[in-house]
């Protein structure tokens, strides 16, 4: 059987005089898969991420929390160490997560309705779920 290129098939390859030789890596890159849906995996991962709904406190739970906040307000001047459980809203989707933060209370900001910790964190009172007084006042410097 005789083909149309039998006369040149065994000749050595001469290369291009105009274009430089392409490396094997560059040639392979031409055939790499194309990601038409850039960011799709991130969007799926974000949609699958679970968040909690904000719990609605009953009247009894709210009055118990109000009592704890009153005790905290009474000793706020001594900067007690507290543990606060509060709802942190998610920035990207509905819902959020309950977070527990420990620190020394700097002040209670009645105007904004927030607890301000010495570390600079501000936690809104409306987001609180629980307040625990860990230490009434900082340890004394006296010997």
Q: Which pLDDT belongs to residue 143?
A: 41
Q: Which pLDDT belongs to residue 1?
A: 67
Q: Which pLDDT belongs to residue 140?
A: 53
Q: Which pLDDT belongs to residue 122?
A: 93
Q: Give the integer Cα–Cα distance in Å for 6 and 12.
A: 13
Low-confidence residues in the chain, pLDDT < 50: 142-143
Q: Which helix (H) or strand (E) holds 132?
A: strand 128-135
Q: Give the integer Cα–Cα distance in Å for 125 and 128.
A: 5
Q: Which pLDDT belongs to residue 26?
A: 87
Sign of torsion over alpha carbons 34, 39, 44, 50:
positive
Q: How far is CA 7 from CA 11, 37, 108, in A?
A: 8, 47, 94
């Amino acid at each position: 059987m005789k083909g149309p290129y039998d006369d040149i098939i065994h000749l050595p390859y001469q290369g291009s005089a105009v274009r430089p030789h392409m490396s094997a890596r560059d040639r392979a890159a031409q055939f790499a898969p194309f990601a038409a849906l850039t960011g799709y995996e991130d969007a799926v991962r974000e949609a699958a991420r679970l968040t909690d709904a904000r719990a609605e406190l009953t009247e009894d739970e709210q009055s118990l929390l109000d009592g704890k906040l009153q005790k905290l307000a009474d000793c706020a001047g001594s900067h007690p160490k507290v543990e606060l459980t509060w709802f942190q809203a998610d920035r990207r989707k509905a819902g959020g997560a309950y977070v527990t933060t420990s620190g020394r209370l700097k002040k209670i900001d009645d105007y904004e309705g927030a607890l301000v910790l010495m570390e600079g964190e501000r936690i809104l009172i409306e987001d609180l779920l629980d307040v625990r007084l860990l230490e009434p006042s900082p340890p004394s410097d006296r010997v």
